[in-house]
Amino acid sequence: MASLLKASSNVLRSEKLPFLSRSKTRQGVVPKKITFRLVPIALSLSTSIGTVEHDLRSNSPDIAIPIMVNGCTGKMGKSVIQAADSAGLYVVPVSFDAEKKSGQTVEACGKKILVHGPSDRESILASVFQEYPNLIVVDYTMPATINDNAELYGKVGVPFVMGTTGGDRDQLYKTVEESKVYAVISPQMGKQVVAFLAAMEIMAEQFPGAFSGYSLQVMESHQAGKLDTSGTAKAIISCFQKLGVSFDMDQIQMLRDPKQQIEMVGVPEEHLSGHAFHLYHLTSPDQTVSFEFQHNVCGRPIYAEGTVDAILFLAKKVKSKADKRIYNMIDVLREGNMR
C-alpha cells in the first residue's frame, strides 16, 4: 500500500511537534527522532500481456505502443523504461536530455538508447514521430526545461505524458491548450497517492471550513537531488486551505540531508536516493485535538507503473479522438482500466 492515511483525535498530545517548529530553518536540525510508520511497498512489474512481437503500427491500444522517454539518463526515466517494457510497450531507441548528456548511450532492458542534446531535439522528435505516428512521449526531464519541452511537443503535435515537477505550471497548461495536443500532466504519478489526493479534494469541496482555526505543520523528505518543493505537498495543502486552515507554502519543512533523513524520519538507507515521505499535522486552537495524515513511498516503481497506466489511457484518448485534450492522473483513475 503506497499511501498511508491516519487520522487520529488525541486529547493527550497537546505539545507542538518539535521537528516542525517554525523557529527552525527548512533544513533545520530536529531535536528528537521522529519515526515514520513505514508501510512496505511491494509492486509487481508483471503483466498479463506477456511477451509479444512488436508491431509498431498495431491497432491495439495496449500492445506495442511506441514511447520515447525523455530524461532516460535519470533514475526515474530508467524505471519507466523497465515498467513500459514489462507492459509490452515499445521504447524507441532515441531520447533527448541536457546538452552535457548528448551522445550518451543508455542501456536498459536490453535496449541501447541514444541521447540527443537540445540543439537537435526538434528535428529528432519530428523524425521519430514521422516513423512512429502513434508515438507517445514521456517526460521526466528537469523543472527548468518542461515549458520549452511542452512547447516543442505541441509544435510537433506529439501526445505526451509529463511527470516532471516544477516549471511555470500556468504557462505549461496554456501552451498545451493552445497547441491542442493530447497530454497527461501530473506532478504525482503514484496511483494510490493520487487517490488519497482525490479524497482530500472531495473533502475540501464538500466540507469547506471544517478545520477553521486549526494550525498546520508540514514536512516532506525527498532524495537530495530533488531541488523543488513537493508538488504533492502543495496540492494537499491547498485542500487544507479550502478546509479553513491558514498556511503559506513557504512554511513547508523540506528535508534533504541524508543523515537527518535516516536519523529523524527513518528513511531506509537503501532508499535515500529515491523516496517521498510526507507528514501533515493539524492541531486545534486549544491544542486538545490533533489529526495526522501521512504517506510514505520508497523507490520509484509506483510512479513508473502509474506512468504506464497514463500512457495506455492517453493512447485510447488519441485513438478515439476525444474532445478533451488535457488530462491528469485523477482522470486516469476515474477511467477504471488500470492494470
Q: What is the DSSP letter of 208?
A: T
State the Cα–Cα distance between residues 184 and 138, nearest whole angstrom: 10
Tell me the average pLDDT across 109-118: 91
What's the pLDDT tens digit per position in 114-129? 999 888 899 999 999 9
* pLDDT score of 60: 40
pLDDT attached to residue 165: 85
Looking at the DSSP assignment, which residues form a beta bridge with residue 67? 91, 136
List own/partner pairs for 263-266 with CB under 8 A and 24 or more apart: 263/33, 264/19, 264/30, 264/33, 264/34, 265/34, 265/35, 265/36, 265/219, 265/221, 266/33, 266/34, 266/35, 266/36, 266/38
Q: Could you tell me the pLDDT band of residue 292, with boundaries at 50, 70 and 90?
A: very high
Which of 200, 197, 222 lies closest to 332, judged by CA? 197
**Is-same-fold flag (66-189+302-335; 191-299)?**
no
Domain 191-299: CATH class, spelled out: alpha beta
Write down the number of H helices and E strands in the chain: 9, 13
Q: pLDDT grade, residue 279 (50/70/90)? A: very high
pLDDT tens string 19-54: 444 334 434 333 344 444 444 333 333 333 233 333
Nearest of 67, 204, 317 to residue 328 by alpha carbon: 317
Domain boundaries, the chain: 66-189+302-335, 191-299
Distance CA(2)–CA(44), nearest Å, equals 13
Residue labelled with grid coordinates 516532506:
220
Inter-residue contact 153 to 128 (CB < 8 Å): no
Cell 533523513 sits at which residue?
261
Q: What is the mean pLDDT of residues 157-177?
A: 94
Q: What is the pLDDT averaged over residues 182-207?
A: 95
Q: Catalogue the active-site residues.
A: 222, 226
Pick the CATH number of 66-189+302-335 from 3.40.50.300, 1.10.3720.10, 3.10.180.10, 3.40.50.720: 3.40.50.720
pLDDT higher than threshold 80 for residue 140: yes
